[in-house]
Amino acid sequence: MSDAAPEMDALKSRLATTWNSGDYGAVASYVQSSAEEFLARFSIEEGMRVLDVACGSGQAALPAARAGAHVTGVDIAPQSLEQARARAKAEGLRIQFDEGDAELLAYEDASFDLVISLIGAMFAPRPERVAAELVRVCRPGGRIVMANWTPEGFIGLFLKSVARHVPPPPLMPSPLKWGEEAVVRERLSDGIADLRLTRRIYPFRYPFDPPAVVEHYLKHYGPTERAYAALDPSGQEALRADLEKLWTTHNRATDATTYVEAEILEVVATRQ
């Protein structure tokens, strides 16, 4: 049973539908190497208990399991969980994937040594609850690790471009606040012994040109797929044009491919 008001229940239902749209696994496959580069900075040891919050199709969960950790992944989108389970099965990895809410995690206090959210929990509508849950399920001395898009980074600009055409729903705070250092320090102030924040580059590499990248996102990425579908033909044309300009302007590749350096805020919090 939900503890939310009807308006929040409606918002959560809308968010679940959004993230269950498109094909997140197709989007994530092109940045899997960046996910693995991110995780490589953290020591994941055999037998470690790891929770991947808003796990998507397993970008962090699978590498952690390959390292020998006991991994649980949780996500709001059943389609992504099905993809994650299929990927784990194909590799012979034993990972528990649960449908669930980052604001109300169905796990006991202090259940995990490492709690990860790779560009996922930042999209939940009540960040204070997310922060409290991440801390609650982490054991004393354990770590909470997040990668969050920054407002001024490339994906911050991308999300803002979409929002200019299709405004976010009421009650939905900007997820990009999770990319602001002062905000993160406030949200992760209780129960944290040490907090380290570092801005890093999270590369996007595609074997096709920027217009094809935009088409890929309009077709496969839930938020842009739903936004595009909500517009009339002229609105769709305007959104596509803005996104193509953005990707083209930031493309560092000199051939018919796309390479963009997005920025994340890396969050490493040690539980008291």
pLDDT in tens, 149-204: 999 999 999 999 999 999 998 889 999 999 999 999 999 999 999 999 999 999 99
Tokens coding 49: 């208990």
Q: What is the pLDDT of residue 4?
A: 56
Q: What is the pLDDT of residue 5?
A: 82
Cα 162 to Cα 24, 125, 130: the distances in Å are 17, 18, 24
Contacts of 271 (CB under 8 A, 6+ apart): 135, 138, 139, 140, 141, 142, 143, 144, 191, 192, 193
Q: What is the pLDDT of residue 1?
A: 38
* Confidence grade of residue 134 (pLDDT, cut at 50, 70, 90): very high
Q: What is the pLDDT of residue 174?
A: 96
Q: What is the pLDDT of residue 266?
A: 98
pLDDT single digits (tens) 221-270? 999 999 999 999 999 999 999 999 999 999 999 999 999 999 999 999 99
Choices 3.30.1490.20, 3.40.630.10, 3.30.565.10, 3.40.50.150: CATH for 6-150+170-204+261-271 = 3.40.50.150
Q: What is the mean pLDDT of residues 106-128?
A: 98
pLDDT single digits (tens) 40-97? 999 999 999 999 999 999 999 999 999 999 999 999 999 999 999 999 999 999 999 9
- Beta bridge partners, 71, equal 50, 95
Q: What is the pLDDT of residue 180?
A: 98
